[in-house]
Amino acid sequence: MSKQKKKITDIRSINLMALFAALTAIGAFIRIPLPYVPITLQTIFVLLAGVLLGKRRAALSQLIYLVIGLSGVPIFTEGGGPGYIFKPSFGYLLAFVVAAYFTGLLTENRPINYRNIFLASTTGVLITYIIGVPYLYLILTKVSGVELGFLDTLKAGMIPFLPGDLLKILIVTIITPRVYTPLKKYL
């Protein structure tokens, strides 16, 4: 297949994007117990979408995940529905779209090796915080009307997740080179 700007809605891409939307959805339900904050596999699938599908298809797949959840199918960690926009944690979900895009951007047309994957997934995870934490702050202060310092938000919305996210970055880094070769023919 040519690498130029091809249509992203050919049959194969449609199915791959649907697949990653579904994977992100089930990722919310596979929990790995970790001390204090159990982690879910969601971020792993978001990052892998970026690496495997490329920036545009990856972002679209996560967008589909969001739209399905917002239209009421309970595939977010705590349900679904348009009301979810006003949940403080929705920013992290919104960030999936952008994180997948940038992870894809940083790995497209580059060799698949530990270093590149590690850098791209770290960027992806950082983006979830860059969007997620201000959103958390915004909803808590503006919608719930709570008086809260930005530093406290950072303490609640970022620090507890760091070990888990480091683990996820490691998983993605270890796993991508292994799945890339057998899967290449499907991409």
Positions touching another protein (CB under 8 A) are 9, 11-12, 14-19, 21-23, 25-26, 29-30, 32-34, 41, 44, 48, 61, 64-65, 67-68, 71-75, 78-83, 86-88, 143-147, 163, 166-167, 170-171, 174-175, 178-179, 182-183, 186
The SS3 of residue 28 is coil
Residue 19 vs 130, nearer CB to another protein: 19
32 vs 37, beta carbon nearer another protein:
32
Alpha-carbon distance values, 100 to 35, 57, 77, 95, 150 (Å): 27, 9, 19, 8, 26
As measured in angstroms, the least distance from the Cβ of 121 to another protein is: 12
Helices (H), the chain: 11-27, 42-53, 55-70, 90-107, 114-138, 150-157, 162-183
| 30 φ/ψ sector (left φ>0, alpha ψ -120 to 50, else beta) | beta
Select from 98, 111, 129, 96 the least CA-distant residue to 27: 96
At 182 the three-state DSSP class reads: helix
Quote the least distance from Cβ 156 to another protein, whole Å.
Answer: 11
Please state, as a whole number, how many other Cβ atoms lie within 10 Å of the Cβ of residue 2: 5
Q: Which is nearer to another protein, 113 or 187 (CB)?
A: 187
CB of 61 to another protein, least distance (A): 8
Q: In whole angstroms, how close is the CB of 81 to another protein at the nearest point?
A: 4
Q: Report residue 6 as tokens.
A: 């091809």
Residue closer to another protein (CB basis): 12 or 130: 12
Residue 29 Cβ, how far from another protein at the closest point, in Å?
A: 6
Is the separation of the CB atoms in 74 and 29 below 8 Å? Answer: no
In the bound state with another protein, the residue whose beta carbon lies nearer, of 111 and 147, is 147
